[in-house]
A and B are shown apart, each in its own frame.
Chain A
Amino acid sequence: MATLNLVQSITLTLQQAMQADERVILLGEDVGLNGGVFRVTDGLQAQFGEDRVVDTPLAESGIIGTAIGLAINGMRPIPEIQYEGFLGPAYDQIVNHAARYRNRTRGAIPVPLTIRVPVGGGIHAPELHSDSPETIYTHSPGIKVVYPTTPSDAKGLLTAAIRDPDPVIFFEPKKVYRSFREEVSEDDYEIEIGKAKVVNEGSDLTIVTWGASLFECLGAMDNAPDDADIELIDLRTIYPLDIDTIAESVEKTGRCIVVHEAPLTGGMGAEISARIQERCFLHLEAPVQRVTGFDTIMPFYKLENEYLVDAKRIGSAIAETLAY
């Protein structure tokens, strides 16, 4: 066991994956000597050499497009995109190529590829460094979308993603990168992609969330009335969606709030609440609520806390849903 923050846990996972499998290579902007702008790949080029930890030219389409080629031809590439805001130039490669190869070739050419991307707001970053685009890729069939929050979940999920035979986007909430440490096993372990985690068991209300918002939910739960027994679910994987865990919980509690940083319209909250009403309609005691970002551009950092969901907004949602 080691006590690690999210960055350290991901570094360790990458290191172990590279040790275990020669096909694994890292590529991206500044991932080599500089160790990535968040230092997630720090020390790995020194350990594994410039052929396996590659500073690429500044071109996201190039990074993902060549990673697809590498994957097709037997490698296990792990490209890093520096911030979620720079996925744009790679969109075509991800959605029109990585996501489609297997299906287009009826299984003949799979693309085992793990795209690592720091995501989300809350670190006072400049323009286009704080977005939450997970739904864009969730709505693009053929890709798995993983979004862990804790260091130990990240390790198991990243290991599973690297070994997954299909393309995975692995979002890393940058606000959580260095926010806390926990015990992480140095042993080899996987956490199944597509399985949510019940963080806290409860019987009155279910909260479903992921990423940095998890801590806002915990804050809101601390402030909730003592007799409110709240079940908190960390989704961990956005696609495939673990609707079973959610439905089981909502059948028990009858009330549900979905919390996410991304905008409201067309966000995962919409999908989850639709699924809940399909699966649990007769169990529902209150409408499913969404506490989310707004349908606006993520503001610059002076106002980012006005945009980001916080414990207070979640707290009112808890009160209203319980009172309904």
Chain B
Amino acid sequence: MPKTTAYQATIEHISILDEHANFDAELGEGVMTDEQALHLYEHMVNCRELDEVAFKLQRSGRMGTYPQNKGQEAAAVGVALALEKGKDWIVPSYRENAALFMHGLPMHYILMYWMGDERGSKMPEGVNVTPLSVPIGTHMLHATGIAWAEKLRKSDGVAATFFGDGATSEGDFHEAMNFASTLKVGVVFIGQNNGWAISVPRSKQMNSETLCQKALAYGMPTVRVDGNDIYAVHYAAKEAVKRARAGEGPTFIECVTYRLGDHTTADDARRYRDEAEVEAWRNRDPILRVRKYLTAKGSWDDARDEALKAKAKKIVAEVVDAAINVTPPETTDFFDDMYQSLPEDLRKQRETMRTSSLGQNPDQVGLKADTAAVEGR
């Protein structure tokens, strides 16, 4: 018998608004209104401002380690616009703050989180967002489970989950993809391929040239988009959400992008990245091209842009104030949500947390009542 082709696939790449602000009128037709584009633009600008200020907060010792989102805002907002707030879910990693803000997470919560305060993850009522996920590549399974529950309840909510290129090396990623595909549940997987996992380039991370190839392995529809193009991202996200709502299962979207900053404030990307590479990507900034395009089109102008940026500064200044001036957590705060009701033993630890173990059992035979005196001796 002659050899035959057992399987063949092609992966589409979508770009609508390119880095020179050229707009593909055919593909871009009806993707979003200028009003919607401006809405996303505003969110990107606010998020960028937050990033810049957060960096300074860290450098001046007012915040711990922080991972800037800078350069990757388009994927966040392009997807978030396709989702219904309060109905759909977002299961994030840590580089899509703008999506969380669009779905109702107060901006200062993100700062609180990185300022070492758990209350930054206390989602307000109606905000269907899970906390930032520090263990890389593990949270996508939760998106699959969330979508599965939607299916079991015969409702059509969608779960969108974000992660990086490095995250696709973790076993849990593959399990999440396989479960979602075989159970045919409504997950939108958004791989933000910024080319680097800290210092490890894509070429060392995987031998696959695209992340999309991994979706093919699970029989999942997939598309690769210019991740710095809100139109391309939204185009793909809208289709994926539609498919998910219709009960047709998951989609994998690869957003090709770049982080313009260091991995986190604890990192120094100059150790492993070429400045020329960074410079090239600065020109592909997702924010610049939207401004350029809408301005050329007459839907936006410099005066309004200035006003928007001034407003962003004001918003972020207020956000910083809110995060810095939040009442400090009670010293016992980390006990209180361990369980719905605290086990007796743990309650006792909470009450006596500043004492030693003997001090927790003061009625013990042999313990002298005047240890305070001994202590002060």
A contacts, CB < 8 Å to B: 29-30, 32-35, 37, 55, 57-62, 85-86, 88-89, 124-129, 225, 257, 264-265, 286-287, 289-291, 294-297, 299-304, 306-307, 312-317, 319-324
Contact = CB atoms under 8 A, between A and B. Distances in A.
Contacts of B249: none
Contacts of B115: 302
Nearest to A225: B377
11 contacts: A33-B272, A57-B204, A58-B137, A58-B197, A126-B116, A264-B349, A296-B335, A304-B116, A313-B356, A319-B374, A320-B356
Nearest to A298: B334
Contact of A294 (B172, B335, B372, B377): B335
A317 B200 CA distance: 47
A294 B349 contact: yes
A180 B165 CA distance: 38
A295 B346 contact: yes
A297 B329 CA distance: 15
B134 interface: yes
B205 interface: yes
Contact of A58 (B64, B200, B331, B354): B200
B199 A32 contact: yes
B367 A89 contact: no
Interface string B85-124: 0000000000000000000000000000111111000000
A57 B367 CA distance: 56
B367 A320 contact: yes
B329 A296 contact: no
A33 B335 CA distance: 41
Contacts of A265: 345
A166 B154 CA distance: 53
Contact of A302 (B134, B169, B328, B372): B328
Interface in B114-150: 114-118, 132, 134-138
B357 A125 contact: no
Contacts of B374: 225, 319-320, 322-323
Contact of B135 (A29, A85, A225): A85
A265 B338 CA distance: 15
Nearest to B120: A300
Contact of A303 (B138, B331, B370): B331
B359 interface: yes
Contacts of A129: 134
Given A320-B371, A323-B368, A306 B206 contact: no
B198 A30 contact: yes
A313 B346 contact: no
A213 to B, nearest CB: 14
Nearest to B358: A320
Contacts, number: 167
Interface string B336-377: 001000000110011001111111000010111011101101
A158 B206 CA distance: 32
Interface in B190-228: 197-200, 204-206
Contact of A55 (B65, B200, B266, B334): B200
B40 to A, nearest CB: 28
Given A33-B272, A320-B367, A58 B169 contact: yes
Nearest to B171: A61
Interface of B: 64-65, 113-118, 132, 134-138, 166-167, 169-172, 197-200, 204-206, 266-267, 271-272, 328-329, 331-335, 338, 345-346, 349-350, 353-359, 364, 366-368, 370-372, 374-375, 377
Contacts of B132: 127
B330 to A, nearest CB: 9
Given A55-B204, A317-B356, A124 B116 contact: yes
Contacts of A316: 355-356, 359, 371, 375
Contact of A291 (B171, B199, B266, B356): B356
A34 B271 contact: yes
B199 A286 contact: no
A311 to B, nearest CB: 12
Nearest to A33: B272
Contacts of B135: 85-86, 88-89, 128
A58 B199 contact: no
A236 B226 CA distance: 52
Given A57-B205, A88-B135, A316-B375, A300 B117 contact: yes
Contacts of B345: 265, 295
B363 to A, nearest CB: 13
A38 to B, nearest CB: 10
A55 B377 contact: no
A319 B358 CA distance: 10
Contacts of A59: 137, 169-171
A312 B331 CA distance: 16
B172 A89 contact: yes
A129 B135 CA distance: 10
Contacts of B331: 303, 306
A291 B352 CA distance: 12
A57 B169 CA distance: 6
Q: Which of A59, A304, A315 has the most CB of B within 10 A?
A: A59
Nearest to A289: B357
Given A313-B354, A315-B375, A58 B166 contact: yes
A33 B199 contact: yes
A291 B367 CA distance: 17
A88 B353 CA distance: 28
A124 B117 CA distance: 11
Contacts of A125: 64-65
Contacts of B114: 126
